[in-house]
Chains A and B, each alone.
Chain A
């Protein structure tokens, strides 16, 4: 039975490769990435084996704890990374629980992250090759640590899905969980800048080695340093934690197997048309109302919005030297991100897009409505993100230049997105799925469409940027105002052209577009 589950996972992986060449490209990229990471890790481990064991222990504990934490947290943010072996799918098969657990745990190792973690963990034992006892213990603790990783991932996923019994809860938690992760960098950065980084890391490693995150990783180092008592204590911590994890997983799994996926909310009478009452009763207005409703209600859109303020916070943290360049560039950056987010719009619709085809809505109305919905919140946001830093930093003479670049970027970007999304779709999470899930094997095409799109964006906004650069270099107020005018005029022209071209493409190729977003499922 265990072998069956492992084989099932392998078959699913192989079949997913057969679906499209892009899947293979994605997997190859993933494998190359995994391989280079592995080579890097092995190199680092070899270096550690030649240095003093204290340093080696510190490094391994830190890296190992990060691996456990990553395994535990990332799947929650990207829940469904590994739904191929979703326990819910085994409900109707009477698989004995211990075998189901063993099969799912081993199945978790199949895949690039699993293989890299396993190989790197086993290789870490070789660091202690000068001390046979430590090396032998290292092999054992490597296995303990790897299964701690895999099962921790299972437990956090099971816990979050069984907590999330309502759709609304599910929508929100997926989004909120990303916040601490995004802020992790600045927080650690803040710590390391206040104290001596080296000492801080050693003490962090010492603390972690007594927690379940780092205990297993620390055991061989302790043995090599002759601290047998400490080693035994930490081994006990690691084993007990793994046992606790298995028990928790079992409890959650048993509960998941008898609980339906989610309960619907209460019935609600109609009468509230929301944004449909705001916009004019035209096809364009209807598309705008629908799109704006989705920007607010669909967590996949919320995700792309949430990333923006977080990115700004991270940027400001990184920029703790106090320069004015980074804060001033926030406006254009936000404009770019908001406008580019629209490229995924049709892909987000998925097959619901069929309604647009069967109602015969014109491509122009479709494009214009989506742009309108985005503009409703993008224009004030971009204006605020441009004006506020300028005013706060007292750089008001740069305001026209920056406004020109921001507005030019936003408008031309919306035009570009209108063209791109009418033709080039890429894989996005399906409706109702976790907003941060990356569909498997989608890397290649997504990267291609996105990077070409960004390149095009830079090219079309180049005239405005060139004017802006000239204005900043010469300090000429006239050039500054010219930048603003150019940004508004060029942006508006490109926006209109984008909507027209995209609309015409959509009129001609709507059925093909529907096929493309259907393949994404």
Chain B
């Protein structure tokens, strides 16, 4: 597998909010991420798209310090994530996909916990928790245990936990899954405002429409490899992002479908 990795020594890029060089990881025989290099410009709203099982979550886990890569390096605003993890983690807010929360805490306690773990003082934490719960429309459920939340509410409270320390880079893995349209629109506004004020957001998704409308940059990942990256307009080249995505990834079947699947 090492043969297929790009082996040139990367220069530490000064500008990008997130710089990924030759990240690779396999699980047993299966190569989950096969040497991906990618720059996420500071101040961009960056979409990471790919079919199910493309390696998006593995890539983002390695980029955020949750999963040790076999090869490659990651920098957040010039700080090496795996060499200086504590410094890099102060710059990042992370919403991982598929991990549990401390769900026997109330929503309010969970967000407070995230703030205090980051060493913030009590007054600031209390103010921000209040604002975040308000913004996520969770004030009325602040005292409910997270284990009793719906899937969408759980996503929102996890997002609030990722935002509390006002990071410079937000890495959100599938932030809109199971979130209702009204909340999703509110979250999009929050994120857009955050980007307008100089923050950087990376979202992974497989909803192309959403990415096309929301993001200014996009990267397409499939089978553990990077297929395309750039501004949304560059990548889609005049087509809709969805058509371009299907073209890049392939796998559309052009048969007659399921001829028996019809009602009389």
Contacts and interface: CB of A to CB of B under 8 A. Distances in A.
Instruction: Kindly name the residue among B66, B92, B149 whose own CB sees the greatest number of chain A CB atoms within 10 A.
Output: B66
A352 B100 contact: yes
Interface string B9-32: 000000000000000000000000
A475 interface: no
B200 interface: no
Looking at chain A, what size class is its interface with the partner chain? Answer: 35 or more
B195 interface: no
A271 B125 CA distance: 13
B100 A271 contact: no
A317 interface: no
B89 A355 contact: no
Nearest to B91: A360
Contacts of B68: 511-512
Given A167-B147, A269-B142, A360-B118, A294 B66 contact: no
A273 B109 CA distance: 6
Interface in A115-153: none
B72 to A, nearest CB: 14
A269 B138 CA distance: 9
Contact of B104 (A266, A282, A293): A293
Nearest to A299: B104
B113 A286 contact: yes
Contact of B125 (A281, A514, A515): A281
Interface residues of B, number: 48
A193 B64 CA distance: 64
Summarize B's interface: helix, strand, loop or mixed. Answer: mixed
Contact of B89 (A267, A268, A358): A358
A270 B106 contact: yes
B148 A361 contact: no
Contact of B103 (A273, A352, A360): A352
A517 B177 CA distance: 24
A355 B161 contact: yes
A289 B90 CA distance: 22
Contacts of B213: none
Contact of B143 (A167, A272, A289, A352): A272
Interface string A326-359: 0000000000000000000000011110111111
A61 interface: no
A385 B85 CA distance: 44
A296 to B, nearest CB: 9
A285 interface: yes
Contacts of B65: 357-358, 360, 511
A468 interface: no
Given A270-B108, A276-B112, A358-B89, A351 B99 contact: yes
B104 A298 contact: yes
Interface string B132-149: 010000011111110111
B92 A358 contact: yes
B79 to A, nearest CB: 12
B66 A358 contact: yes
Given A167-B148, A283-B116, A358-B92, A267 B140 contact: yes
B135 to A, nearest CB: 14
Interface string A439-468: 000000000000000000000000000000
Given A281-B122, A355-B114, A268 B147 contact: no
Interface string A286-306: 110110011001100000000
A431 B100 contact: yes
Contact of A276 (B98, B101, B116): B116
Nearest to A262: B148
A267 B144 contact: yes
B139 to A, nearest CB: 7
A271 B105 contact: no
A287 B109 contact: no
A283 B117 contact: yes
B108 A354 contact: no
A265 interface: yes
A264 interface: yes
A293 B66 contact: no
Given A167-B148, A511-B66, A360 B89 contact: yes
B139 A432 contact: no
A276 B109 contact: yes
A281 B113 CA distance: 10
A264 B94 CA distance: 28
B178 interface: no
B121 interface: yes
Nearest to B122: A281
A274 interface: yes
B148 A264 contact: yes
Contacts of B145: 265, 297
A396 B142 CA distance: 51
Interface string B215-239: 0000000000000000000000000
Contacts of A360: 65, 85-86, 89-90, 118
A270 B114 CA distance: 16
A362 interface: yes
Contacts of B147: 167, 431-432
A167 B121 CA distance: 34
B117 A356 contact: yes
Given A270-B143, A272-B143, A352-B101, A290 B113 contact: yes
B66 A359 contact: no
B96 interface: yes
Contacts of A355: 101-102, 113-114, 117, 161
B67 interface: yes
B142 A270 contact: yes
Interface in B56-103: 64-68, 85-86, 89-90, 92, 94, 96, 98-103
Interface of A: 167, 264-274, 276, 281-283, 285-287, 289-290, 293-294, 297-298, 349-352, 354-362, 431-432, 511-512, 514-515
Given A269-B139, A271-B142, A355-B114, 13 more contacts: A264-B144, A270-B143, A281-B125, A287-B117, A294-B104, A350-B100, A351-B98, A355-B101, A357-B65, A358-B65, A361-B117, A361-B118, A431-B104
What are the 6 closest A-B residue pairs judged by CB atoms, nearest first? A270-B142, A360-B89, A286-B116, A268-B143, A270-B108, A281-B122
22 contacts: A268-B106, A268-B144, A271-B142, A272-B108, A273-B109, A274-B106, A276-B113, A286-B117, A294-B104, A297-B145, A349-B102, A352-B101, A352-B103, A354-B96, A358-B66, A359-B114, A359-B117, A360-B90, A362-B86, A432-B147, A511-B66, A512-B68
